[in-house]
């Protein structure tokens, strides 16, 4: 998942609603959930396909628990990520439609 979904850049911390929701999922499902930052990757030429030198920008989620509980938690986390992504897309769509005037056509 993209960092902009989980990081509050103004506070230089994780967004509190993300942490709270992951904590609720962990408690409800009886698992441990860890939000892992971007990892460094080794490439043969020092640069990956994006031109970044060994840094994958995606954040990862690690879920530990018994198999059924972990699968349940994984489903809930994926639904939460989907909601985060769709809310960002709605905001971007709103900005586009707000800036569009019929006189521009």
User: Can you give the residue ranges of every domain in the chain?
Assistant: 3-99
What is the CATH code of the structural domain delimited by 3-99? Answer: 3.30.1370
**Contact (Cβ atoms closer than 8 angstroms) between residue 33 and residue 77:** yes
| pTM of this structure | 0.67
- pLDDT per position in the chain (105 positions), as tens? 677 778 777 767 888 888 999 999 999 999 999 988 887 666 555 555 555 555 677 888 999 999 999 999 999 999 998 888 887 655 555 555 555 554 544
């Amino acid at each position: 998942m993209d960092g902009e979904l989980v990081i509050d850049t103004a506070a230089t911390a994780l967004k509190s609603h993300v942490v709270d929701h992951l904590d609720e999922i962990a408690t409800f499902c009886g698992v441990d959930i860890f939000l892992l930052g971007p990892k460094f990757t080794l490439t043969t030429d020092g640069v990956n396909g994006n031109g970044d030198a060994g840094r994958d920008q995606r954040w990862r989620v690690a879920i530990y628990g018994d198999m059924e509980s972990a699968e349940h938690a994984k489903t809930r986390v994926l639904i939460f990520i989907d909601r985060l992504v769709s809310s960002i897309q709605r905001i971007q769509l709103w900005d586009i439609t707000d800036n569009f005037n019929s006189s521009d056509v």
